[in-house]
Amino acid sequence: MLWWTRTRRKESPLAEAQRRLVIPENIYRRMIIHCYEERPLEACGLLTGASGYVAAGYATDNQERSPVLYRVDDRQLLTAVEEAHQKGQEVVAIYHSHVASEAVPSRTDIAQATWPEAFYVIISLKARRPRVRAWRIVDGQVSEHLVVLARHVDGEWFDLRQAVRRAGGSV
């Protein structure tokens, strides 16, 4: 059989979903708003769901309070993970912003990546319009994956940031 006549095997939906990250449009928009609110510091948060499909987003504080580094607040991370597990979900992605650089993992991002099962979503605020890209980082190896917006599907959004609470905002 010649290579151009071979039929491709149909992959399971789970394997297919793992190549892409599906984000409800309302969560996508809130994630970008969160990044602009934190500028000039890097923003960070979590996306939970299952098999590459996002069901909820969590805006968190950047424990580093830095324009070039991020670290999800430890307590807020535990809160989000516990809530996700109670709903039968898991952390499917960790997002953060790059204020002045492209939406590509930096050397630091790669070195600090400790969740090989999660996507790393980077939102670049460098240009006039934000750029959102998803990556897998496993043992220092980086691969880009497709971000798909799910229109007409709403997910849940939670703002766990302490700064918002202190300012009198709702959670």
Percent of the chain with pLDDT strictly greater than 90: 82
Output the pTM of the full model: 0.85
pLDDT tens column, 137-168? 999 999 999 999 999 999 999 999 985 555 55
What ranges do the domains of the chain cover? 13-161
Q: Which CATH superfamily is domain 13-161 in?
A: Cytidine Deaminase, domain 2 (3.40.140.10)
pLDDT tens profile 83-118: 999 999 999 999 999 999 999 999 999 999 999 999
pLDDT on residue 171: 43
Question: Residue 168's pLDDT is what?
Answer: 53
Tell me how crowded residue 127 is: count the other CB atoms within 10 A of its CB. Answer: 9
- The pair of structure tokens assigned to 73 is 């607040």
What are the residues whose beta carbons fall under 8 Å from the beta carbon of 15, sequence distance 6 or more?
Answer: none
Question: What pLDDT shows up at residue 13?
Answer: 40
The predicted-structure confidence for 117-133, as pLDDT tens digits, reads as follows 999 999 999 999 999 99
Say how many C-beta atoms besides its own lie within 10 A of residue 98's C-beta: 24
> DSSP class of residue 155?
-
